[in-house]
A and B are shown apart, each in its own frame.
Chain A
């Protein structure tokens, strides 16, 4: 495995902008991400920390293929996304999954949990009904989404249950990289602990790579080996967890670390 699983190369994203008719001229847009390079090795857990508006979520959505980059590109297993064959593209689609910050809005309120999971499998694989059911059962057992939850509508779930469903959905297609966008910030500490433990277990079990986005350094420290600090659309500091947290170089990283509330 010499090539990284996913590489973002000089990725930029600008919102708005373009030409306008009156007064005629070029209008500058808002640059959310400015030329970011990011490499995720197979099985690695990479953290992306920064304050709101720093471009974390935009970058993550570009990595997941949910948002086109304005400039720069993605490489999947060493090959540019544009050059992938149809089959390889499907593999990328199945290989990268995303877990949203708010699990409630990430589930269609009109679909029962079981149906939503089945939809995902239908889209990602060519399994028949019996195999799909078996797969949902298998992943459900690992993520704590039991048969009782499958019959429910999203509004009948608690926040922790909904996030477990979202995690189950992301794992169904056997992804290699899961992008986690603040997956625990909407949850109470007790549920947060459950989900963090679950994420650590699942990573060990499936050999997953994580791109973990958070503003909570304590949570990030638990889960990630590599941390990137983002500020105003750029990565201002990167490094292995222990180095970056013990000996931060960038002033912004230092400020971030100093601001973390500590017990005792």
Chain B
């Protein structure tokens, strides 16, 4: 976050857009291609070209590079280059005009429908639906048939046929924007509707509209060509690219150049406009940032020997690191993470967001986001996971390691009944599942919910959904459950029930649980041991009770001091100034030192190791908080 947080130099919107455009290769390619085509087309009146309509039967079908005719002549002896350039002018002008008309009318309709209440919306959109019910080339043909052939009528027909497209797209976008809190905020500021539409809605609509227009422009050039090809657009002797294509068709076998050249020009125009359109959308969106080219993930260092070999731990993680490919070499997001997890043990990973908790959890599953690579050793029951290929890892996921998501509504497929999803999960992995559906349902306490298997995910409450998600995770009897903020989205009363369920599963079935959370109080109730992470590193590894009553690392103490406690409303909340360093940000010595109230000069010189403090505790600090007594 803070990497992109520098305010952009230069304030003009245009200056910003130009600078961003320069970093968008696809848009640049489109722009270059379009300039290549447009330059001669726009300059056509300035070039000393022969009259495009002047026929000369004596000099017909001359090959390219003939004297006076750079691209040769057509079947009537007209100069091909002149016809091509003037024809392209017509095609582009008609396409652009039709696009603007359709966009303007469509936007007004869409905006009115989205903003004007349910009645107006119904009225306008049913009208649009009627227009959309016709295949739209047919609609255009009908309009031209009614008005008579000619370029102006063709333009009008194409514009009308495209109005529904714009109206629907604009309506959808505006409906989304309308429900954003910043619209409510503008109302709270006392602004009237016109100003809200102008200031808050239109700027957010503009990128969508612009993208629609550019993609449509290419499309409209094609449609104009289509109508002209059918003889309904440009009337001889005037020509556009489509009518040239139509005329050239007769000579396709004897003299293909007459048809190929306009076809090629149409292709170039459409491709370049679409490329540019895609790029412009990105450039106009302030949230977009140029994507760095990710190098291929470095092969995992599978041969790294585990120094903790021979232990009976279920999970042994050794020197785990996660790196993102960056512009200036790999950026470490997680580094040197080592811990062990025994069967039946609940261990929590806590820390602020951006400290690498989720990345650590995901890397155990081999599910890192794109562009990330991992190093180190992850052993599950003695088997090195980092050496496994994709298929072997997939087989392991769900069977030995399972994942409980934060928000099961997004993890369950909304279109399928829970029974179907459960069946599918049970049938995965070839070998039979560890439990039947009925057993699973009983295990997570959902027995007694009528018609459970026939319900869709949205028909459950949040707590029931999370139970379903846990049941799915348990289907194959995994040894290790990873729960990433699995109760954060739930109400406190429901949260308590889910915690009790997770705890019971660990105790009764000897499963291990890795519980990622930012809530220390929650962790205190569920877990035996807590790993505190800061800036991608474990800074303290301690039994939960010891950590919560006598934190040794200043960061653990700071997290505790900042947590409000029920029954202690006057407890002063210790504020931890600043934010964690971004991955890859250079921090000399201890990465917590810049925010640490206890930091000494030594702390900034060398990064401390994760050392034992007492019997059951590891701390990465030169001056850990010692027990008071």
Q: Do A and B bind each other?
A: yes
| Chain A interface (Cβ < 8 Å from any Cβ of B) | 51-52, 61, 64-66, 90, 93-94, 96-98, 100, 102, 105-111, 119-120, 122-124, 148, 151-153, 155-160, 166, 169-170, 173, 188-194, 196-197, 215-219, 221-222, 241, 245, 255-264
Of residues B189, B204, B521, which shows the largest number of chain A Cβ atoms within 10 Å of its Cβ?
Answer: B189
Q: Which of B185, B353, B493, B560 contacts A169 (CB 8 A)?
A: B185
Contact assessment for B191 and A189 in the assembled complex, using a CB-CB cutoff below 8 Å: no
Given the contacts A119-B191, A218-B564, A261-B524, A193 and B575 also touching, CB distance less than 8 Å? yes
CB-CB contacts below 8 Å: B174-197 with A: 180-182, 184-191, 195
Query: Which residues of chain A are near B58, meaning CB under 8 Å?
Result: none
> Which 8 residue pairs of A and B lie closest in terms of their CB atoms, listed nearest first?
A123-B189, A193-B562, A51-B491, A106-B181, A193-B573, A110-B203, A261-B521, A120-B189
B493's partner among A152, A218, A256 (CB-CB below 8 A) is: A256
B204 touches A108 (CB 8 A): yes
Contact (Cβ within 8 A) A221 B562: no
CA distance A204 to B495 in the complex (A): 34
For residue B200, CB closer than 8 A to chain A, the reply is yes
CB-nearest residue of chain A relative to B2? Answer: A158
**Most chain A CB inside 10 Å of its own CB: which residue of B203, B525, B565:** B565
Interface 1/0s, chain B 1-45, versus A by CB < 8 A? 110111100010000000000000000000000000000000000
Query: Which residues of B are found within 8 Å of A190, using beta-carbon distances?
Result: 352, 558-559, 562, 575-576
Instruction: Give the docked Cα–Cα distance between A180 and B566 (Å).
Output: 20
Q: Which of B186, B548, B549, B562 contacts A192 (CB 8 A)?
A: B562
Given A151-B7, A153-B286, A156-B5, A119-B186 contact (CB < 8 Å): yes
Q: Report A-chain residues with C-beta under 8 Å of the C-beta of B528.
A: none
B-side contacts of A170, CB under 8 Å: 188
Is B574 on the interface with A (CB-CB < 8 A)? yes
Chain B neighbourhood of A106, CB < 8 A: 180-182, 184-185
Contacts of B565 on A, CB cut-off 8 Å? Answer: 218, 262-263
Please name the residue on chain B nearest to A222 by beta carbon: B569
Q: Check A263–B548 contact: CB distance below 8 A.
A: yes
Q: Given A261-B519, A264-B548 in contact, is the A215-B566 Cβ separation under 8 Å?
A: no
Q: Which of A52, A153, A197, A260 contacts B566 (CB 8 A)?
A: A260
Q: Is the CB of A100 within 8 A of B185?
A: yes
* Contacts A93-B190, A148-B7, A215-B492; A100 near B575 (Cβ below 8 A): no
**In contact, A100 and B184 (Cβ under 8 angstroms):** yes
Does the CB pair A124–B190 fall under 8 Å?
yes
A109 touches B187 (CB 8 A): no
By a CB distance below 8 angstroms, the chain B residues around A110 are 203-204, 286
Contacts of A152 in B (CB 8 A): 5, 7
Q: Which residues from A are CB-within-8-Å of B562? A: 189-190, 192-193
Q: Is B518 an interface residue (CB 8 A)?
A: yes
Q: Which residue of A lies closest to B1 (CB)?
A: A158
A263 and B520 contacting across the interface, CB-CB below 8 Å = yes
A sample of 7 cross-chain residue pairs with beta-carbon separation below 8 angstroms, ordered by A number, consists of: A111-B203, A119-B199, A189-B352, A190-B559, A193-B574, A221-B569, A255-B493
The reply to whether the CB of B462 lies closer than 8 angstroms to some CB of chain A is yes
Bound CA span A191–B573, Å: 11
B287 within 8 A of A: yes
Contacts of A264 in B (CB 8 A): 524, 545, 548-549
Query: Given the complex, which residues of A lie within 8 Å of B353, measured CB to CB?
Result: 159, 188
Are B352 and A259 closer than 8 Å at their CB atoms?
Answer: no
B 190-230 binary contact with A (CB < 8 Å = 1; else 0): 11000100011001100000000000000000000000000
Q: Bound complex: CA of A154 vs CA of B22, how far in Å?
A: 23
CB distance from A223 to the nearest CB of B (A): 8
Contacting residues, chain A, for B545 (C-beta < 8 A):
264
Question: Cβ of B124 < 8 Å from any Cβ of A?
Answer: no
Q: Tell me the bound Cα distance from A37 to B352 in angstroms.
A: 39
B496 on the A face (CB < 8 A)? yes
Contacts of B51 in A (CB 8 A): none
Using CB atoms, name the residue of chain A closest to B285: A109
Which positions in B face A, CB cutoff 8 Å? 1-2, 4-7, 11, 180-182, 184-191, 195, 199-200, 203-204, 285-287, 352-353, 462, 491-496, 499, 518-522, 524-525, 545, 548-549, 558-567, 569, 573-576, 579
A52 touches B521 (CB 8 A): no
The answer to whether A261 and B525 have CB atoms under 8 Å apart is yes
The 8 Å CB contact of B184, one of A98, A158, A160, A260, is A98
CB contacts (< 8 Å) of B495 on chain A: these are 259, 261
Distance to closest chain B CB from A52 (angstroms)? 6
Give the residues in chain A near B11, CB-CB below 8 Å: 151
A189: B residues at CB distance < 8 A: 352, 518-520, 559, 562-563
Residues of B within 8 A of A153 (CB): 286-287
Partner of B188, one of A98, A107, A241: A98
User: Contacting A109 at CB < 8 Å: which of B195, B204, B524?
Assistant: B204
Nearest CB to that of B526 among chain A residues?
Answer: A261
Known: A93-B190, A152-B5, A263-B520. A102 touches B181 (CB 8 A): yes
B566 CB contacts on chain A under 8 angstroms: 217-218, 221, 245, 257, 260, 262
Contact B521 A262 (CB under 8 A): yes
In-complex Cβ contact of B200 among A102, A108, A217, A241 (8 A): A108
**CB of B273, distance to nearest CB on chain A (Å):** 24
B522 touches A261 (CB 8 A): yes
Other than A65-B188, A108-B200, A189-B520, give 17 A-B pairs with Cβ distance below 8 A. A111-B199, A123-B195, A148-B7, A155-B4, A155-B286, A156-B6, A166-B185, A196-B573, A197-B575, A218-B566, A256-B493, A259-B496, A261-B522, A262-B521, A263-B520, A263-B521, A263-B560
Decide if A108 touches B203 in the complex (CB within 8 Å): yes
B518 contacts which chain A residues (CB < 8 A)? 188-189
Min distance, Cβ B501 to any Cβ of chain A, angstroms = 14
A243 CB to nearest B CB, Å? 13
For A153, give the chain B residue with the smallest CB separation.
B286
- In the complex, chain B residues whose CB is within 8 Å of the CB of A256: 492-493
CA distance A77 to B604 in the complex (A): 57
A263 CA to B11 CA, complexed, in Å:
49
Bound: A51/B574 CA distance, A: 28
A196 touches B564 (CB 8 A): yes
CB B515 to nearest CB in A, in angstroms, measures 13
Please measure, in the bound complex, the distance between the C-alpha atom of A52 and the C-alpha atom of B182, giving whole angstroms: 22
**Inter-chain contacts of B576 with A (CB < 8 A):** 190, 193
Q: How far is the CA of A166 from the CA of B189 in the complex (A)?
A: 12
A65 to B184, CA, bound (A): 10
**A64/B188 in contact, CB under 8 A:** yes
Q: Are A94 and B190 in contact (CB under 8 A)?
A: yes
CB distance from A135 to the nearest CB of B (A): 13
**Cβ-closest chain B residue relative to A172:** B189
Q: With a CB–CB cut-off of 8 A, which chain B residues contact A215?
A: 491-492
A68 → chain B closest CB, angstroms = 12
Contact of A66 among B188, B493, B569 (CB under 8 A): B188
Q: Name the B residues within 8 Å of A119 (CB-CB).
A: 186, 189, 191, 199
Cβ–Cβ < 8 Å partners of B575 in chain A: 190, 193-194, 197
Q: Which residues of B contact A221 (CB under 8 A)?
A: 564, 566-567, 569
The CA-CA distance from A216 to B522 in the complex, in Å, is 12
A148 to B5, CA, bound (A): 10
Chain A residues within 8 Å of B4, by CB: 155-156
- B460: shortest Cβ distance to chain A, in Å? 13
- Tell me whether A52 and B491 are in contact (CB under 8 A): yes
Among A97, A105, A260, the residue within 8 A (CB) of B492 is: A260
A170 CA to B574 CA, complexed, in Å: 25
Q: What chain A residues lie within 8 Å of B285 (beta carbons)?
A: 109
**Cα–Cα, bound, A264→B494 (Å):** 21
User: How long is the Cα–Cα vector from A109 to B521 in the complex, in angstroms?
Assistant: 35
A199 to chain B, nearest CB (A): 11
Name the CB-closest residue of A to B289: A155
Contact pick for B573, options A156, A188, A197, CB 8 Å: A197
What distance in Å separates the Cβ of A133 from its nearest Cβ neighbour in chain B? 16
Closest Cβ of chain B: how far from A136's Cβ, in Å?
13
* CB pair B559 A259 closer than 8 Å: no
